[in-house]
Amino acid sequence: MVISSLKARLFVEQNLVADDLLTLPKDQSHYLRNVLRLHEGDRIGLFNGVDGEWETEITAIRRKEIEVCAKFCIRNQCSSPDIWLVFAPIKRLRIDFIAQKATELGASMLWPVFTERTAVGRINIERLKSNAIEAAEQSDRLTVPEIGKPTEFEELLKKWPEERFLFCCDETGGGKPILQEFQKHTGPSGLLIGPEGGFSNSELDQLDKLSNVCRVSLGGRVLRSDTAAFAALACWQASVGDWNISPVRLKN
Amino acid sequence: MVISSLKARLFVEQNLVADDLLTLPKDQSHYLRNVLRLHEGDRIGLFNGVDGEWETEITAIRRKEIEVCAKFCIRNQCSSPDIWLVFAPIKRLRIDFIAQKATELGASMLWPVFTERTAVGRINIERLKSNAIEAAEQSDRLTVPEIGKPTEFEELLKKWPEERFLFCCDETGGGKPILQEFQKHTGPSGLLIGPEGGFSNSELDQLDKLSNVCRVSLGGRVLRSDTAAFAALACWQASVGDWNISPVRLKN
């Protein structure tokens, strides 16, 4: 593990500045005090998605809150790959897995989209967010993926930024070789994953009309939606993402 | 879905020959009769990993067994990628996921290996097998991955076939770019995934001594073991596996 001398690694919303005192929220304080049983003087790592990762020291343990002091920055904030995962919501356990694993695999945004064949009517955004935060803490990320506002398919296409290429993972067999397409269209990107029943013909027609969209193939076997999401993200990171860049650590 | 006129798709151990009558085992008969509520005359697809996929017709529904008649072959058996997934056993739910998703992603063998830091003492092989069969049925595969006999790490290295290249997914940061290595060493391959705590230094040393092994990187974020398995398999299929080959279907 990378956090050798640190007893935990947590995401916070507050600014991280040397010598500042921070009061941690109730749930994190509870976790540090009652689950990990930490004491005053113990060190934990904090990151907020902006100021890098900081080593902090527990300076006070009160009944409902813990106070820490930011000591020094152990990792500078650096840019991370700009890859959105746009996916049709699926059932609870599998959507937890999507949030966790897409975070591990470095998605910068998780954006639920309701397509014609999406069987799930609503999505618990708070749960999606807390799964993403937990996975960011455990996977040593310096950021937490943004959560996009759940959107209807037609609305998504209207809103889609012109400069961002969208790779639609297509199970109908008409998709192009995925790694070649990633190499052709580098820069800010999105991966679109359909529901278990796939996209409707009308949806595929709408996608085909756009110039910054192409259909890519994940092979001839039928993949579950969550498998397709992990697979496409892994291929993107390996081919044009940050898998070949060594992380820089200031101090361990 | 591909099985439009077929009511189910099942893996069987029996031979599949035109006009032969097959008696399905108790659990499959129960599933077809009591869960799917099929009737005589309904058609189901069967595959056995050798004879391709067959359309069969239910000819008799008895109290504890169902009899079907093999009508015609709808898909010829074809060669599938020769990629083994060698992994340290992890906790129950996550190992179910490994079996399911590795099958969807086309692994030809699932082989549990006990490493120094493997926290799980034993593995339920029957459960691994039934998860793999179910995923093969659902993912439209013509084969079910073999299940390797659980093996100690040292034993694995002794047994490892010389002509099969082994890619060790290395979280220590020393791994080479994964897609480049896949392209360099095509042919029969294996992917080695360590336990949550990674490989020990002694294990990495032993791997480094072998000429048909290299360490590959899955990037700077810490991945759970199951995520690493899916990610490596997806990258292998996209780069040197069968994702760019269109499946041939004789009749739908």
Domain holding A31: CATH number? 2.40.240.20
Q: Do residue B20 and residue B135 come from a single domain?
A: no
Task: Kindly state whether residue B248 falls inside one of the protein's structural domains.
Answer: no
Q: Given the DSSP bridges, would you call strands B21-24 and B43-47 parallel, antiparallel or unpaired?
A: unpaired
To 5 degrees, how large is the angle CA A235–CA A241–CA A247? 120
Instruction: Evaluate whether A81 touches A242 at the Cβ level (below 8 Å).
Output: yes
Burial of B119 (0-12, 13-18, 19+ CB in 10 A): exposed
Task: Kindly state whether residue A65 falls inside one of the protein's structural domains.
Answer: yes
Decide if B221 and A105 are in contact by the 8 Å CB cutoff: yes
For residue B237, list chain A residues with Cβ-Cβ distance below 8 A.
219, 231
For residue A239, list chain B residues with Cβ-Cβ distance below 8 A.
179
Decide if B2 and A237 are in contact by the 8 Å CB cutoff: no
Total domain count, chain B: 2
Of A140, A224, A232, the CB nearest to B104: A224
At residue B250, does pLDDT exceed 50? no
Task: Kindly state whether residue A43 falls inside one of the protein's structural domains.
Answer: yes
For residue B170, list chain A residues with Cβ-Cβ distance below 8 A.
none
State the Cα–Cα distance between residues A123 and A90, nearest whole angstrom: 9
Q: Do residue A87 and residue A45 come from a single domain?
A: no
Look at A87 and A3; give whichever has higher pLDDT: A87
Q: Does B178 reach chain A within 8 Å, measured CB to CB? A: yes
DSSP B145-214: -EEPPPEEHHHHHHH--TTSEEEEEE-SS-PEEHHHHHHHS-SSEEEEE--TT---HHHHHHHHT-TTEE
For residue B219, list chain A residues with Cβ-Cβ distance below 8 A.
106, 237-238, 241-243
What is the mean predicted confidence (pLDDT) over B12-41?
A: 96
Q: Do residue A66 and residue A89 come from a single domain?
A: no
At residue A180, does pLDDT exceed 70? yes
Decide if A234 and B239 are in contact by the 8 Å CB cutoff: no
Q: Does B224 reach chain A within 8 Å, measured CB to CB? A: yes
> Which of A75, A95, A113 marks a domain boundary?
A75
Q: Does A235 reach chain B within 8 Å, measured CB to CB? A: yes
| CATH classification of the domain holding A183 | 3.40.1280.10
Residue (of B38, B52, B46) closest to B70 by Cα position: B46
Interface of A with B in 134-163 (CB under 8 A): 138-141
Of B1, B238, B245, the CB nearest to A179: B238
Q: Do residue A109 and residue A187 come from a single domain?
A: yes
State the Cα–Cα distance between residues B246 and B106, nearest whole angstrom: 14
Residue (of B167, B206, B207, B171) closest to B187 by Cα position: B167
Decide if A231 and B227 are in contact by the 8 Å CB cutoff: no
Provide the pLDDT for residue A4.
Answer: 55
Of B178, B221, B245, the CB nearest to A139: B221
Task: Kindly state whether residue B111 falls inside one of the protein's structural domains.
Answer: yes
DSSP B105-129: TT-SEEEEEE-TT-------HHHHH
Decide if A242 and B222 are in contact by the 8 Å CB cutoff: no
Provide the pLDDT for residue B89.
Answer: 94
Share of chain B above pLDDT 90, in %: 87
Q: Does A106 reach chain B within 8 Å, measured CB to CB? A: yes
Q: What are B96-106's pLDDT values in tens digits?
A: 999 999 999 99
For residue B217, list chain A residues with Cβ-Cβ distance below 8 A.
243-244
Q: Do residue A97 and residue A39 come from a single domain?
A: no
What is the mean predicted confidence (pLDDT) over A145-174?
A: 94
State the Cα–Cα distance between residues A144 and A11, nearest whole angstrom: 8
State the Cα–Cα distance between residues B250 and A3, nearest whole angstrom: 55
Beta-carbon contacts below 8 Å between A and B? 128
Q: Do residue B37 and residue B92 come from a single domain?
A: no
Domain that holds residue A189: 83-239
Q: What are A217-228's pLDDT values in tens digits?
A: 999 999 999 999
Q: What are B199-213's pLDDT values in tens digits?
A: 999 999 999 999 999
Provide the pLDDT for residue B129.
Answer: 96
Q: What is the mean pLDDT of chain A?
A: 93
Of A138, A232, A246, the CB nearest to B173: A246
Provide the pLDDT for residue A34.
Answer: 94
Q: Do residue A117 and residue A201 come from a single domain?
A: yes
Provide the pLDDT for residue B121.
Answer: 86
Work out the minimum CA distance from B235 to partner chain A, whole angstroms: 5
State the Cα–Cα distance between residues B216 and B182, nearest whole angstrom: 9
Q: What are B166-224's pLDDT values in tens digits?
A: 999 998 888 999 999 999 999 999 999 999 889 999 999 999 999 999 999 999 999 99
Positive or negative, the CA dihedral A217, A221, A222, A226 is negative
**Could you tell me which residues come within 8 angstroms of residue B20 by beta carbon, excluding any fewer than 6 positions away?**
B69, B70
Decide if A138 and B223 are in contact by the 8 Å CB cutoff: no
Q: Do residue B179 and residue B195 come from a single domain?
A: yes
> What confidence category does residue B244 fall into, taking pLDDT thresholds of 50, 70 and 90?
confident
At residue B245, does pLDDT exceed 90? no
ipTM field: 0.93
**Could you tell me which residues come within 8 angstroms of residue A106 by beta carbon, excluding any fewer than 6 positions away?**
A80, A81, A83, A141, A233, A237, A241, A242, B219, B221
Q: Do residue B70 and residue B149 come from a single domain?
A: no
Interface of B with A in 110-139 (CB under 8 A): 138-139
State the Cα–Cα distance between residues B163 and B55, nearest whole angstrom: 38
**Could you tell me which residues come within 8 angstroms of residue B18 by beta carbon, excluding any fewer than 6 positions away?**
B70, B71, B72, B73
For residue A139, list chain B residues with Cβ-Cβ distance below 8 A.
221-223
Decide if B234 and A239 are in contact by the 8 Å CB cutoff: no
Provide the pLDDT for residue B4.
Answer: 55
* In the block, residue with structure tokens 């003492």: B121
Q: Do residue B126 and residue B219 come from a single domain?
A: yes
Work out the minimum CA distance from B104 to partner chain A, whole angstroms: 6
State the Cα–Cα distance between residues A138 and B95, nearest whole angstrom: 19
> What confidence category does residue B251 fall into, taking pLDDT thresholds of 50, 70 and 90?
very low
> Which of A56, A75, A94 marks a domain boundary?
A75
Provide the pLDDT for residue A1.
Answer: 39
Task: Kindly state whether residue B251 falls inside one of the protein's structural domains.
Answer: no
Coil, strand or helix at B66: strand
For residue B246, list chain A residues with Cβ-Cβ distance below 8 A.
173, 220
State the Cα–Cα distance between residues B223 and A103, nearest whole angstrom: 10
Work out the minimum CA distance from B229 to partner chain A, whole angstroms: 10
Burial of B150 (0-12, 13-18, 19+ CB in 10 A): middle
At residue A246, does pLDDT exceed 70? no
Decide if B230 and A232 are in contact by the 8 Å CB cutoff: no
Q: Do residue A71 and residue A152 come from a single domain?
A: no
Lowest mean pLDDT among A114-118, A171-175, B114-118, B244-248: B244-248
Decide if B231 and A234 are in contact by the 8 Å CB cutoff: yes
Give the containing element (helix H, strand E) for B239.
Answer: helix B225-239
Coil, strand or helix at B75: strand
Q: What is the mean pLDDT of chain B?
A: 93
Decide if A244 and B197 are in contact by the 8 Å CB cutoff: no
Phi, psi of B112 (to 5 degrees): -75, 135
What is the mean predicted confidence (pLDDT) over B77-106?
A: 94
State the Cα–Cα distance between residues A194 and A203, nearest whole angstrom: 10
Q: Do residue A107 and residue A32 come from a single domain?
A: no
Task: Kindly state whether residue A248 falls inside one of the protein's structural domains.
Answer: no
> Which of B75, B105, B122 marks a domain boundary?
B75
Q: Does A97 reach chain B within 8 Å, measured CB to CB? A: yes
Give A112-164 as a 3 state SS string: EEECCCCCCCCCCHHHHHHHHHHHHHHHCCCCCCEECCCEEHHHHHHHCCCCC
Q: Given the DSSP bridges, would you call strands A53-61 and A43-47 parallel, antiparallel or unpaired?
A: antiparallel
Task: Kindly state whether residue A244 falls inside one of the protein's structural domains.
Answer: no
Task: Kindly state whether residue A252 falls inside one of the protein's structural domains.
Answer: no
Look at A2 and B242; give whichever has higher pLDDT: B242
> What confidence category does residue A57 fall into, taking pLDDT thresholds of 50, 70 and 90?
very high
